[in-house]
Amino acid sequence: MTMSEDREVDIRALRQIGWDYWDPIGIRQLNDIDWRTNAADEYDTYLLRAAHLLMRGETPEGVAQYLDQIGSENMGLGPVNAASHQASLRTAEAIVSYLRVWTDF
């Protein structure tokens, strides 16, 4: 991912999508805003990668599988269940909607 690619998407929009749909470790449930701030860098990396995968032609299902893998392996949350996969898929679909409206996607 190059710097120019990073500028194609608004990280604030991706963060909101992440908080609204994905949030695998449950940060949005915490009242302490510092947790959200501290996790933003990690979430940003994953959400930017998801957006760029979609921009390069990956399907929402493929991106959902990527997000599932992040939660399961990178975050150590264990096996993916139906609810977490649906959250990942909704996240990918929301990113597609964002990209269609706000970029040249």
pLDDT in tens, 1-36: 333 444 478 888 998 898 889 877 776 666 555 545
Could you tell me what percent of the chain has a pLDDT over 70?
A: 78
Burial per residue of 12-26, b for 16 or more beta-carbon CB atoms within 10 angstroms, e otherwise: ebbbebbeebbbbbe
Domain boundaries, the chain: 3-102
Q: Please say whether the beta carbons of 35 and 42 come within 8 A.
A: no
Quick one: tokens of 34? 């510092």
3-state DSSP call for residue 3? helix
Residue 29: per-residue pLDDT: 65
Query: What is the spatial distance between Cα 41 and Cα 39, in angstroms, rounded to a whole number?
Result: 6
- Give the predicted TM-score (pTM) of the model: 0.79
